[in-house]
């Protein structure tokens, strides 16, 4: 019984350390882009579900390792389109959509026939 209790305690502590350590990336993201207390202030910015990384997080991690800095890694990803939805990561971040989720992209503006005709007058 003592072994099981010790194992569970170690497992819980290890999980806590991983979550606390990785949250510094979210803090760096929020500081750089001013997204604190906004929709992007969540683990979903980089994770699909659980610990699985989305395409934006994979690109960020690659750039972070190359540059040696979380902030520089984030900046190096700005002009990329990690989720291949046709919008750069920075455009999605500025629009408060998730750069690692192709289902979350910029809204398409509706154009009326009058607006189209006005272009050719």
Interacting residues of 1 by C-beta distance below 8 A, sequence separation 6+:
none
Q: What was the pLDDT predicted at 110? A: 59
Q: What was the pLDDT predicted at 97? A: 94
3-state SS of 14-71 is HHHHHHHHHHHHHHHHHHHHCCCCCCCCCHHHCECCCCCECHHHHHHHHHHHHHCCHH
Q: What was the pLDDT predicted at 115? A: 63
Local mean pLDDT, 10-residue blocks, the chain (121 residues) = 58 47 84 95 90 95 97 98 96 95 77 63 68
Q: What was the pLDDT predicted at 19? A: 45
Interacting residues of 46 by C-beta distance below 8 A, sequence separation 6+:
25, 26, 53, 54, 56, 57, 60, 100
């Amino acid at each position: 019984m003592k072994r099981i209790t010790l194992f569970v305690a170690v497992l819980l502590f290890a999980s806590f350390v991983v979550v606390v350590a990785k949250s510094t990336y979210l803090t760096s993201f929020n500081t750089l882009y001013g997204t604190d207390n906004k929709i992007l202030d969540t683990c979903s910015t980089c994770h699909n579900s659980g610990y699985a990384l989305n395409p934006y997080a994979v690109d960020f991690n690659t750039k972070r390792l190359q540059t040696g800095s979380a902030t520089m890694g984030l900046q190096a990803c700005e002009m990329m389109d990690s989720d291949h939805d046709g919008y750069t990561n920075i455009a999605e971040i500025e629009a408060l959509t998730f750069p690692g989720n192709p289902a979350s992209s910029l809204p398409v503006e509706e154009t009326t026939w009058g607006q189209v005709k006005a272009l050719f007058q």
